[in-house]
Structure 1
Amino acid sequence: MKQMQKQVVFFLITIMMVSMLVGCSQETGTSKETGSTREATFTGVARGYGGEVEVTITFDEDKMISVIAIGDNETTGIGTNALEKLPEAILETNSADVEAISGATVTSKAIKEAAQSAIAQSRGEATAELPELMMTPGTYVGQAQGYAGTLEVTVEVSENEIISIELTDNIPQENEMIDREFWAAKYPVAMLRDTPQILKTVTDRLPDRIVESQSLAVDVISGATVSSSGFMMAVRDAIVQAGGNPAALNRPIEKNTAEEVYEADVVIIGGGTSGTSAVASAKDEGASVILIEKSGRVGGTGSLSSQPMTLGASIQLENNVDIMDEDELFEEWMAQNHWYVNGGTLRRFLQTTGSTVDWLAERGGFNWGLSPWSQHWIVDYVDDSLGSMGVADSFEQLISDVDMVLYETTGKSLIVDSHGAVVGVIAEKYDGTKVTVNAKSVIIATGGMLGNKDLMEQYNNGYSYEIFGLAQNIGEGFEMALEAGAVEWNVGGVAAHLTDVAGRRRVGGFDIYDTSIPYTLSITPSLLKVNQRGERFMDENAKAGSMNSSTNFVLANGSHNFTIVSQQQVEVLKAEGLAGIGMDTVPPGANFFLQPLEPDYKMENIEAVLAAGEEIEIAYKGDTLEELAEVTGMDPATFVRNVERYNKMAEEGRDSYFNKPVQYMNHLGNEGPYYAIKAVPLAYSSLGGVRVDENMQALTADGRPITGLYAVGVESIGSVLDGVAYPKLDGVALGWGFNSGRIGGIEAGKAALK
């Protein structure tokens, strides 16, 4: 959609003029005669939450006839909501003076500023001068919301410039619902504040860049977009306290025009799980290695996970673990993936897993423990990885002897010689510097396409998903490999084990218990769950079985679904809590961000919470089933049919469709109003990629290895998965990342040194 929007804009624009904007950055304008009227198009740009937001308005005389807003880095489900809705309001009112979208204040402000710029241009108003920065000298403490907690910065200023910036606190949220005696409590506790290892990439870079440029228009740090934006908003807060106008700090940052050229035996694009493993194993072979990493850190999605698939590691043997037989696991894996995978590649992976875990302990200092889930084919990070990324030091140790790391550098294209061999990479640094790395072997380890809405929809039946992994992974490596002649293979599906309320938003103005009501309802087995069509699609109690199977049920039904609650059930929940609708235990499936309520918690404020949820579109209300279907976009006939069938089965005491336990079959009643809570699956990474052989060498459509090109991690996991869904086997993605990276590094290093 964004690409189509841009095409429309560029079709309309025939001449582009660039200048500066008060309070924004750049703007453009064009015009054309149309009969007796004059159509003109102008574009304003302002800083949003994740980066630049561009608003293009076409006027017929002084009336707007088109408003388009684009912000590729705004948060899915929050900022994108403003991008979709505010242009309509601006067009309808013919003015930028419209109400912000609740929950998307920063993006809304940017859209309005950019629109105002375009309007000013259409009137011929001068917008070239920035306001003067005048402040009261001193030291000020600013605060703003980060990814999870509150970021506090201390800023020292003179009368007209910033002298220094320092992060002084990373304040966690409060959540007294977490049982801190529970062994897994470390995960949700760590999620209450911004992840220190991600935040470090911000504090190591942004303060100096802001001070040096005296501008808040610096780029966010890739891989730390939300923390970067929160940090800069905290700096803005301090500037306001000093009496300054933050708009004076919107000085545009000039791009660097320099070019750099490097030589190496092996160049690796991407420093996540597979990329760092490839670095270490290629170095073990004696190759010179250059690593290109888009973000400011290494570890990727692997530092957000915890358990790689492992057969025969020393820790398992020393503790007499009854390890699953390799042949048995091979047969189970093949069966779950319908035998539609490369058996030889899978076998080499399984044969490598045990030695790889031992190698990681020695090479990277990884500290392994036995599976806390008592599974016999995985091991576990001992360090707290999900929240604090305690394994970050180990990933850094894996690349400690690499010849060069180019951080904040994005691979753009592969260099292919006249014989079709891949012999290097063209890349670009965050500041615009062009980079060429000539190499004998190139390994693509860029982490998939989860952050690319268009690619996700292309390969997932029109769906993209809420991101729990890394939004920076937008498929550049996949597309580069295809351009070099590789064939796509089993692309589709995502790795996802958790669900949440839509947009990962929280209803404001309530305590933590009431805030958890929407999430709790969304995972309660005794409530009806339907898909976007209004069709019941699963046993709502499936989470109590397999986390993977349950989430795949959800994924197969799109990017969101609805939990339905009747007024009759609302009255019971107010008076008795979940216990009143058949729950004798806490609903399963805590997602680290929100905890479900206990069965005896009386939801006395449920109606007020759901009303607040309507404002940010995580909850909907209809006086009748048909009306609820209309406001949620469900098909009324399908929805009514499914509710009536569910009620009948509840009366009969038997779920004849999905075999849900009878105690959880709760009748909705026959009178409205009715409510729907919007829930979403949380995705770690995409699945699929390009086809590889057992050496991780990329293959063409006719099965020919492409000289010099290797693909590891998510970029090649389609060779061992069928492109439909994540299997019911834990440790697959992380295990494949470590092992494919190690294998690819070995083979790429050997080939380069021949």
Structure 2
Amino acid sequence: MRKQAQSKIFMLSVCLIMLLSLISGCSGNNDAEPAASGQPSASPEAAQQAADDNEVPASFKAGTYKAEADGKDGKIQVEVTLDAQSTITGIKVLNQKETAGIGVEAINKIKDEIISGQTLAIDAVSGASESSAAILTAVEDALKQAGGNVEAFKSRKIAKAGEGKTEQLSADVVVVGAGASGVSAAVSAADKGAKVIIIEKTATIGGASNLSWAGKFYNSSAAVSSGLKVSVEKEISDWIVNNHWRVDAAAIRQYVTKSGETYDWLNKKGYKTTFINFAGEQLHMLPAYETRQPTLRAMLAASVEKGGGQVITETTAKKLITGANGEVTGVVAEKADGTTLEITGKSIIMATGGYAGNKEMVKEAFGFEGVNGGLGQNIGEGLKMSWEAGAKVPDNFGGQMLHQTLARATEKLKAEYAPFEASYPLMLSYLPTLMNVGPSGARFRDEAATLTSVAAANTSAFNGAYHLVIISQAQIDALKAKGMNGVKAPSLPGMPPEFYATFADQFKLDTPWKDADKVFESMVANGDGYKGGTIEELAQSAGLDAEVFAHDFNQYQEATKTGVDTEFGKAKEYLVPMGQSGPYYAIIAEVNNLGSVGGLLVNTQFQVLNDKRVPVKGLYAVGLESEGVLFNDTYVGNGVGLGYSFTSGRLGGEDAAAGALAK
């Protein structure tokens, strides 16, 4: 079995490397000035207000100043020009690596608002709070360099044009959220003849699908023609058992038997996915990152807008409208300019992406305290609105999509080292040949769990907010000399392709790890890891229980000598000695949560159910918010999140349209 597992891991790694030639690269890494509609100028109102309240300090000096701040994916560097009246006349982005379609759009929007309003009192762009904060911080720094009146810019508020205004709209179907599931629902509903209005709180169409890489569409035409066919009945049976029977068997059957059709549907719509045999799994790689949002927008134009509907972005749903008998009849939303929209509809589809961006809600529901690797705008409003309208909170509420391991040190190290060197701690967190301990210092798993993303993530999360990867000086020396072969890595770390896209040519088992000593010293200096000359000193610096850590460390060292792991049964070939002396290092490793799972209970027509498990009339849900019917308390799929989002959207949109047109 172990040889088969190693073979599978090897095949996965080979597949991932081959995929790099097909993938255009991570959705970020845009070093040039973001595309924009043109440089704005200060509005007359802002210019007058600036003249009234902005006394130019004697220390102020007009000119052009450079500044930078940390964005979500790296430094954002700007060049800010101010005239003699301390008016910001231009902001040029010199360098940034934010996510295309999300962070980049936020940068453009914020810098335009700064100039037109002559203000720093600007709300963050929903879904891009870190990018928004970075551009504001950088411009503020430039103002400080110039000796400008920063407080005047931060206190100057510009009234929103739509405040106090209300608009009323109507449609057959109203979709809340324009991610993969929402767009699919809107398009399929429009194709059935319904007039559709879809609203999205950000400026971006596509949601988390813009950040992902593959979905699972069972027995798609491409998979079957390639010779890979899944036994439907066995897949469904195993799925139910693996989730301890606490799932909706009909919903699982619907997804497994209908998702293959979604592959052809998407391809026909122009959203072309590419089938890959992922070590026996039927995965379908999404289009190149930069083409996804334009393609989804084109799908909406060809169906929703062509049918007389509307696509309204930067508009946040606030509450559901209900009738006298509890039926859902519409949604109240707020546009970016402050205008209130009252949108009535016969069918309302919730596709708001869950609540993984709401740390407090995730902690309360699941106890998880790791990293939100999904979208920050997904904070649970859609669920709360639905619950207030009578929807049932599912019995298995709380599940999360824990799917990757992260090293806290990575981002800071990227500011000091090349991407390969900066990723040393990250890569080690994916290897089965190193010792892992929890926050107490106790070893908590067979480290071979690191070979499977879901197993790695959930075993870690079960033991606290983080875990520590222990590495000795002897092992670092081996890495410097022989690369990952030096610590007997059985295969390349099973990281997502975007994690190593920038150093694919070095991502090999035999690439020597130059400067490894310096990298790990920097990790410790940055506060993202720990060091000790002895295991006792390491325990003290890392806040571990010294007795617990010493016991488990010595027991593990004995296992590396005998080849027998009496505690967790780790395979002999993964028991690599650490040597007999320090120093020792501890890497802080965290779990990446890609999204929450569930929150609304639905039937196979994607109607939301109430406490009596009867449909709430007029209310539907698709995507992650309805995905709890597939899993018990933890997501254990591979590509299911995306596959289900597109499939539930396609089918749910048809059902919602049928319900609306029948009224």
TM-score class normalised by the smaller sequence: 0.7 to 0.9
Change in 2 beyond 3 A, CA 1:418/1:736: same
In structure 2, what is the equivalent of residue 306 of structure 1?
213
In structure 2, what is the equivalent of residue 277 of structure 1?
184
In structure 2, what is the equivalent of residue 378 of structure 1?
283
Post-superposition CA distance 1:5-37 (Å, at most 9, x none): xxxxxxxxxxxxxxxxxxxxxxxxxxxxxxxxx
Equivalent residues in 2 for 1:676-695 (5 A)? 676-695=586-605
In structure 1, what is the equivalent of residue 83 of structure 2?
158
Deviation at residue 585 of structure 1 after TM alignment = 5.5
In structure 2, what is the equivalent of residue 194 of structure 1?
98
In structure 2, what is the equivalent of residue 499 of structure 1?
405
Post-superposition CA distance 1:488-521 (Å, at most 9, x none): 2222332233212127532354454543332233
The answer (yes or no) to whether the contact 1:155–1:163 under 8 Å persists in 2 is: yes
Change in 2 beyond 3 A, CA 1:276/1:166: farther
Amino acid in the other structure paired with 1:737? S
1:726 paired with 2:635, answer yes
Change in 2 beyond 3 A, CA 1:372/1:244: farther
Change in 2 beyond 3 A, CA 1:701/1:196: same
Amino acid in the other structure paired with 1:270? G
1:366 paired with 2:271, answer yes
| Alignment RMSD (CA, Å) | 3.1
The answer (yes or no) to whether the contact 1:153–1:165 under 8 Å persists in 2 is: no
Post-superposition CA distance 1:705-746 (Å, at most 9, x none): 1011111111110011112x222x422110111111122211
> Following the alignment from structure 2 to structure 1, what is the Cα–Cα distance between the partners of residues 441 and 53?
54
> Following the alignment from structure 2 to structure 1, what is the Cα–Cα distance between the partners of residues 471 and 600?
44
Amino acid in the other structure paired with 2:648? S
In structure 1, what is the equivalent of residue 464 of structure 2?
558
Change in 2 beyond 3 A, CA 1:699/1:368: same
Change in 2 beyond 3 A, CA 1:346/1:514: closer
Deviation at residue 165 of structure 1 after TM alignment = 4.0
The answer (yes or no) to whether the contact 2:432–2:574 under 8 Å persists in 1 is: yes
Which has the higher mean CA deviation after the structures are superposed, 600-609 or 527-536?
Answer: 600-609
In structure 2, what is the equivalent of residue 476 of structure 1?
381
The answer (yes or no) to whether the contact 1:574–1:604 under 8 Å persists in 2 is: yes
Describe the SS at the equivalent of 1:682.
strand
What stretches of structure 1 of length at least 5 have no aligned partner? Answer: 1-127, 172-192
Deviation at residue 701 of structure 1 after TM alignment = 1.8
What stretches of structure 2 of length at least 5 have no aligned partner? Answer: 1-51
In structure 2, what is the equivalent of residue 517 of structure 1?
424
Equivalent residues in 2 for 1:224-243 (5 A)? 224-236=128-140, 239=143
Equivalent residues in 2 for 1:375-454 (5 A)? 375=280, 377-381=282-286, 383-385=287-289, 389-400=290-301, 401-402=304-305, 403-454=309-360
> Following the alignment from structure 1 to structure 2, what is the Cα–Cα distance between the partners of residues 296 and 582?
47
1:132 paired with 2:56, answer yes
Change in 2 beyond 3 A, CA 1:584/1:478: closer
Change in 2 beyond 3 A, CA 1:231/1:285: same
Post-superposition CA distance 1:465-497 (Å, at most 9, x none): 212211111111112222222112222332233
In structure 2, what is the equivalent of residue 613 of structure 1?
523
Change in 2 beyond 3 A, CA 1:591/1:240: farther
1:322 paired with 2:228, answer yes
> Following the alignment from structure 1 to structure 2, what is the Cα–Cα distance between the partners of residues 208 and 696?
41
Alignment partner for residue 644 of structure 2, among 730, 736, 754?
736
In structure 2, what is the equivalent of residue 674 of structure 1?
584
The answer (yes or no) to whether the contact 1:277–1:742 under 8 Å persists in 2 is: yes
The answer (yes or no) to whether the contact 2:77–2:138 under 8 Å persists in 1 is: yes
> Following the alignment from structure 1 to structure 2, what is the Cα–Cα distance between the partners of residues 361 and 166?
41
The answer (yes or no) to whether the contact 1:529–1:564 under 8 Å persists in 2 is: yes
Change in 2 beyond 3 A, CA 1:334/1:133: farther
Describe the SS at the equivalent of 1:733.
helix
Change in 2 beyond 3 A, CA 1:561/1:591: farther
Change in 2 beyond 3 A, CA 1:579/1:306: closer
Equivalent residues in 2 for 1:12-91 (5 A)? none
Post-superposition CA distance 1:41-98 (Å, at most 9, x none): xxxxxxxxxxxxxxxxxxxxxxxxxxxxxxxxxxxxxxxxxxxxxxxxxxxxxxxxxx
Structure with more relative contact order (C-alpha pairs < 8 Å, separation 6 or more):
2
> Following the alignment from structure 1 to structure 2, what is the Cα–Cα distance between the partners of residues 270 and 406?
10
The answer (yes or no) to whether the contact 1:468–1:684 under 8 Å persists in 2 is: yes
Equivalent residues in 2 for 1:687-726 (5 A)? 687-723=597-633, 725-726=634-635
Describe the SS at the equivalent of 2:155.
coil
Change in 2 beyond 3 A, CA 1:675/1:276: same
In structure 2, what is the equivalent of residue 28 of structure 1?
none
Alignment partner for residue 146 of structure 1, among 71, 76, 80?
71
Change in 2 beyond 3 A, CA 1:669/1:262: same
The answer (yes or no) to whether the contact 1:444–1:712 under 8 Å persists in 2 is: yes
In structure 2, what is the equivalent of residue 752 of structure 1?
660
Percent identical pairs in the alignment equals: 34
Post-superposition CA distance 1:382-421 (Å, at most 9, x none): x223xxx431112212322342233222222222222111
Amino acid in the other structure paired with 1:644? N
> Following the alignment from structure 1 to structure 2, what is the Cα–Cα distance between the partners of residues 456 and 280?
31
> Following the alignment from structure 1 to structure 2, what is the Cα–Cα distance between the partners of residues 704 and 479?
19
Alignment partner for residue 663 of structure 1, among 559, 566, 573?
573
Deviation at residue 308 of structure 1 after TM alignment = 2.2
Amino acid in the other structure paired with 2:430? I
1:651 paired with 2:558, answer no
The answer (yes or no) to whether the contact 2:410–2:425 under 8 Å persists in 1 is: no
Post-superposition CA distance 1:91-122 (Å, at most 9, x none): xxxxxxxxxxxxxxxxxxxxxxxxxxxxxxxx
In structure 2, what is the equivalent of residue 205 of structure 1?
109
1:357 paired with 2:267, answer no
> Following the alignment from structure 1 to structure 2, what is the Cα–Cα distance between the partners of residues 353 and 716?
16
> Following the alignment from structure 1 to structure 2, what is the Cα–Cα distance between the partners of residues 359 and 666?
49
Deviation at residue 695 of structure 1 after TM alignment = 0.7
In structure 2, what is the equivalent of residue 215 of structure 1?
119
In structure 2, what is the equivalent of residue 3 of structure 1?
none
Deviation at residue 284 of structure 1 after TM alignment = 1.7
Between Structure 1 and Structure 2, which shows a larger proportion of helix residues?
2
Describe the SS at the equivalent of 2:259.
helix
Equivalent residues in 2 for 1:574-593 (5 A)? 578-583=484-489, 586-589=492-495, 592-593=498-499
The answer (yes or no) to whether the contact 1:442–1:710 under 8 Å persists in 2 is: yes
Change in 2 beyond 3 A, CA 1:503/1:608: closer
Deviation at residue 228 of structure 1 after TM alignment = 2.4
The answer (yes or no) to whether the contact 1:141–1:153 under 8 Å persists in 2 is: yes
Change in 2 beyond 3 A, CA 1:604/1:310: closer
TM-score scaled by structure 1?
0.72
Change in 2 beyond 3 A, CA 1:660/1:212: same
TM-score scaled by structure 2?
0.81
> Following the alignment from structure 1 to structure 2, what is the Cα–Cα distance between the partners of residues 277 and 711?
12
Which has the higher mean CA deviation after the structures are superposed, 234-243 or 479-488?
Answer: 234-243
The answer (yes or no) to whether the contact 2:57–2:148 under 8 Å persists in 1 is: yes
Which has the higher mean CA deviation after the structures are superposed, 341-350 or 533-542?
Answer: 533-542
Amino acid in the other structure paired with 2:412? R
1:290 paired with 2:194, answer no
The answer (yes or no) to whether the contact 1:372–1:380 under 8 Å persists in 2 is: no
> Following the alignment from structure 2 to structure 1, what is the Cα–Cα distance between the partners of residues 117 and 567?
63
Amino acid in the other structure paired with 1:645? Q
In structure 2, what is the equivalent of residue 641 of structure 1?
551
1:456 paired with 2:366, answer no
The answer (yes or no) to whether the contact 1:156–1:165 under 8 Å persists in 2 is: yes
The answer (yes or no) to whether the contact 1:142–1:238 under 8 Å persists in 2 is: yes
Post-superposition CA distance 1:344-372 (Å, at most 9, x none): 22222233212222222223x11121115
